[in-house]
Copies of this chain bind each other. A is one copy, B any other.
Amino acid sequence: MEDLITLRALRYLQKADHIFAPNNRGKRRAYEVIKDFIDEEKVIFVDFPMGEAMKAIYEKTFDVIDRTTKDGELSVFITLGDGTIYATLIEVLRERGKSDIALELVPGIPAFLAGINALIESLVLKGESFLLLDRLPFEEDLKADTVAVLKAREPERLFEHLEKCGYDPLYLENIETDRWVMTDDVEKCRDRKTYMSLILARRRPWNMAEISKHIGGRIRLL
């Protein structure tokens, strides 16, 4: 996964005076991705107990970054995927208040894009639409041609709802890691509760025979 970093991100990491890295109850996933590219001594871990409501923690984090960064210095705050998509990074920046610190965001590859690319399938063909969610709206119909549901902690409920709406769902877990697995069989993902998971569902059915040919040693089929 570390080679999905952009040249722009690499340049900033190497120029940085300080690198802020999230620590979620001992998990330091974003740091693990970049650790071979950077000077260890620049890293400052910031604690995020993932999943909790934490406006005060976001505020405090921005404040620490702001105070640590002296005039003329460059600080980098790292995140997995893209910082504008369900990310702690943008939550922290939203609490910047009246700070006069100059900001720039570097776009990254989100998990749903890494996932669909590995399948050698289309996310959207011309005229189609794509919907991104971090939970299903169970109460209503979905109309998009392709749907991605992130953090798919109850795959069996999601599979059931998506199939009822006319979709063919696929479960993917730990994308771009050496524990990357997937399945189109709800029985094989029913009891999995992995945070780093998503469901890709498309109206045009997946061709599993073709997909299996291309995922090779990268993705294990459950």
Main secondary structure of the interface of A (DSSP, over half): loop
In A127-166, which residues have CB < 8 Å from any B CB? 127-135, 137, 140, 143-144
Inside 8 A of A194's CB, which chain B residues have their CB?
none
With a cutoff of 8 Å between Cβ atoms, the chain B residues found around residue A132 in the complex are 124, 129-132
Listed stretches A39-47, A66-74, A112-120, A184-192; interface member: A112-120
A64 at the A/B interface (Cβ < 8 Å)? no
Asked if A123 and B84 sit within 8 Å, CB to CB, the answer is: yes
Number of this chain's copies in the complex: 2
Assess whether B6 is in contact with A4, with CB atoms less than 8 Å apart: yes
From known contacts A90-B125, A94-B122, A134-B124, infer whether A82 and B6 are also in contact, taking CB-CB under 8 Å: no
| Interface size of A in residues (CB-CB distance below 8 Å) | 54
Assess whether A195 is interfacial by the CB under 8 Å rule.
no
Q: What's the Cα separation between A140 and B83 when bound, in Å?
A: 31
Contact with B along A82-106 (1 / 0, CB 8 A): 1111100011011000000011111
Q: How close is A99's CB to chain B, nearest CB, in angstroms?
A: 11
Minimum-distance CB pairs A-B, first 6: A105-B117, A3-B8, A107-B117, A84-B123, A130-B132, A3-B7
